[in-house]
């Protein structure tokens, strides 16, 4: 019987000195203890462990029971008495065992767990692990750091619940586990706080550094991925609670403000491999970006925030974080970047952002990233939001800032729709300049002519793909029509009449040629398609189309004709606006000549 075997080993070891225990004794004790647990004799094993005479034996050998003990706890049902006895054994081992040996045993058990049991195992072992760590005297900071790192490494592969239903179900127990880990860390946070009030010994600084690393990891996972908006029907959102606790720890160890404003990243490891160094830097940047989102969008820790910074300075501080988030493609991270950008811009008044800010690299990179979200993101509501934020960003700059930003986006966007949108903005600024009493030098005269050189031209002359660039061309023609109507040749405030010969040479004439070529090409295509249809005696002939290596749904001949006619309609539209522009120019020139 397993209990008899265990008692025999115990009696043999009771007469030995602690130093006389051999490897064989450890093995026999482990095998017998494991057999007791597996055969259902947990109550008897608990009595052996609680017996004062066996204190020395349990101190040295008890940690060997951790692995079978954890297995049995998960084997028994919640209400089973045997499970309760196993939990009491675990608690006794935490009190009686050698702290160093038990620490390694607990950590090994956490490391070996995987899949659906990760959160259950971590939550089960957090309390005994905390008890053991509080007993350690030497290398406590290192041991706490190792424990937190091991736990976070085990949790990181788990999917983060995102929808309301997933958060409520919490299938793998991640929500509950994250908050349990914060409770596990609290005694060590309190220790750091007390020591900081007294002195700043190296050991205490090491413990503070380990807690900071834990907070940084927590900001990246799960908080960067998590849905953190307040959800109706969830009284206490687990990830919002976790975020609040992480912010509190950072505040308590005096790292919150340095992280947000000084971009402190803790002690960086000196990696020999540059790739590892880059990964660490990227992870750190994403963590701090998440922290800024928590503070400025969700307002966690905002009570600790000094109310002395101007909105433009806050925007400047956050631009690098916004850039980090907008470079990601995941919805949770992109939406955080957009929300952070929007939050910073809404604090500012229109026309208040000085053009000098565009000398900072981030102020040029972020709108370019925003354009990529607008044009490439597959999620519609994020595309729409990014367009609204781009307009908000434009509105905040002074006149010179708007002018510089327009030039930059026209040169870098490489998207006809975006270019058309920017040209519409240029038209709005010209209108303000012409209707305001104060003179705006950036959208009139030689500055405007320099800008129009980028607007009123075809990228590849007459051979430009007019269909692909139709948004840009229509916006350019509408701008030119507005300038011709609004600005008399005698006033020439915009300078458009001085540049007219260049505009005709670089824009209007090539556009005429391009329209003629494009219309002839598409009319020939329509004719060929109709002839092919007659030859096939069926309108169900299909055409295979491949886009970016992916085969699109097949097109019937009727569909092809519809697309071709749609292209011709676009060309007709461009041609009609072009004719109207040329007519207006002619009328204006004739009127001046008649007047002379």
Whether pTM exceeds 0.85: yes
Determine how β-strand 542-543 pairs with β-strand 546-547: unpaired
Structure confidence by residue, pLDDT tens digits, 34-62: 788 878 888 888 888 888 888 888 887 87
Phi/psi at 543 (nearest 5 deg)? -120, 130
Nearest to 61 by CA among 22, 88, 87: 22
> What are the structural domain ranges in the chain?
398-533+554-595
The beta-carbon contacts of 74-79 under 8 Å, at least 24 apart in sequence, are 74/117, 74/120
Structure confidence by residue, pLDDT tens digits, 535-557: 665 545 555 555 445 555 666 77
Spatial distance between the Cα atoms of 25 and 64, rounded to a whole number of angstroms:
12
Spatial distance between the Cα atoms of 407 and 368, rounded to a whole number of angstroms:
12
Least confidently predicted of 192-196, 385-389, 479-483: 192-196
- 304-321 mean pLDDT: 90
Structure confidence by residue, pLDDT tens digits, 134-152: 998 888 999 999 999 999 9
Q: Is the pLDDT of residue 259 over 50?
A: yes
Which residue is associated with the tokens 């590849």?
460
Strand ranges (E), 417-493 = none
pLDDT of amino acid 527: 80
Calculate the CA dihedral of residues 272, 274, 275, 276 and round it to 10 degrees: 50
Torsion 257-259-264-267 (CA) sign = positive
Helix, strand, coil percentages for the chain (3-state, nearest 5): 75, 0, 25
Angle, helices 174-198/140-155, rounded to nearest 10 degrees = 160
Quickly count: other Cβ atoms within 10 Å of residue 38's Cβ: 14
């Amino acid at each position: 019987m397993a209990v008899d075997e265990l008692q025999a080993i115990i009696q043999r070891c009771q007469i030995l000195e602690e130093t006389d225990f051999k490897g064989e004794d450890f093995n026999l004790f482990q095998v017998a203890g494991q057999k007791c647990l597996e055969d259902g004799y947990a109550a008897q094993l608990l009595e052996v462990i609680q017996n004062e005479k066996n204190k020395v034996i349990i101190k040295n050998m008890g940690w060997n029971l951790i692995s079978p003990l954890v297995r049995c706890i998960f084997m028994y049902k919640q209400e089973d008495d045997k499970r309760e006895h196993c939990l009491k054994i675990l608690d006794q081992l935490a009190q009686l065992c050698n702290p160093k040996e038990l620490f390694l045993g607990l950590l090994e058990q956490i490391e070996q767990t995987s899949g659906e049991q990760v959160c259950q195992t971590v939550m089960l072992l957090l309390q005994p692990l905390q008890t053991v760590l509080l007993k350690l005297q030497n290398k406590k900071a290192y041991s706490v750091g190792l424990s937190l790192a091991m736990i976070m490494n085990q949790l990181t592969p788990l999917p983060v619940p995102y929808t309301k239903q997933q958060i409520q179900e919490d299938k793998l127990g991640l929500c509950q586990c994250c908050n349990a880990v914060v409770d596990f860390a609290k005694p060590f946070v309190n220790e750091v706080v007390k020591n900081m009030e007294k002195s700043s010994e190296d050991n205490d600084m090491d413990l503070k550094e380990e807690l900071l690393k834990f907070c940084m990891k927590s900001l990246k996972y799960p908080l960067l991925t998590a849905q953190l908006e307040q959800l109706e029907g969830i009284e206490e959102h687990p990830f919002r609670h976790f975020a609040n606790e992480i912010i509190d720890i950072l505040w308590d160890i005096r790292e919150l403000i340095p992280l947000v404003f000084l971009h402190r990243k803790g002690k960086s490891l000196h990696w020999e491999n540059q790739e590892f160094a880059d990964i660490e830097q990227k992870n750190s940047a994403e963590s701090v970006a998440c922290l800024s989102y928590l503070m400025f969008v969700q307002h966690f820790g905002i009570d600790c925030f000094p109310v002395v910074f101007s909105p433009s300075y806050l925007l400047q501080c956050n631009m690098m974080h916004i850039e980090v988030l907008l470079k990601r493609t995941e919805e949770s991270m992109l939406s955080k970047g957009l929300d952070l950008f929007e939050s910073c811009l809404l604090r500012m008044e229109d026309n208040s952002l000085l053009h000098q800010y565009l000398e900072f690299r981030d102020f040029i990179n972020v709108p370019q990233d925003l354009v990529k979200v607008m044009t490439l993101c597959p999620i519609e509501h994020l595309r729409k939001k990014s367009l609204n934020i781009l307009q908000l960003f434009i509105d905040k700059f002074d006149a010179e800032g708007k002018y510089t930003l327009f030039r930059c986006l026209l040169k870098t966007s490489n998207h006809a729709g975006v270019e058309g949108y920017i040209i519409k903005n240029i038209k709005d600024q010209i209108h303000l300049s012409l209707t305001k009493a104060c003179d705006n030098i950036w959208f009139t005269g030689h500055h405007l002519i320099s800008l129009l050189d980028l607007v009123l031209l075809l990228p590849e002359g007459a051979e430009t793909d007019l269909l692909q660039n139709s948004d840009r061309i229509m916006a350019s023609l509408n701008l030119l029509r507005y300038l011709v109507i609004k600005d008399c040749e005698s006033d020439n405030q915009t300078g458009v009449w001085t540049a007219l010969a260049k505009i005709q040479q670089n824009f209007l004439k090539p556009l005429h040629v391009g329209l003629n070529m494009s219309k002839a090409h598409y009319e020939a295509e329509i004719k060929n398609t109709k002839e092919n249809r007659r030859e096939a005696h069926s309108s169900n002939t299909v055409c295979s189309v491949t886009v970016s290596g992916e085969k699109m749904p097949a097109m019937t001949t009727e569909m092809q004709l519809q697309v071709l006619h749609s292209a011709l309609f676009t060309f007709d539209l461009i041609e009609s606006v072009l004719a109207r522009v040329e007519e207006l120019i002619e009328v204006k020139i004739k009127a001046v000549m008649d007047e002379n």
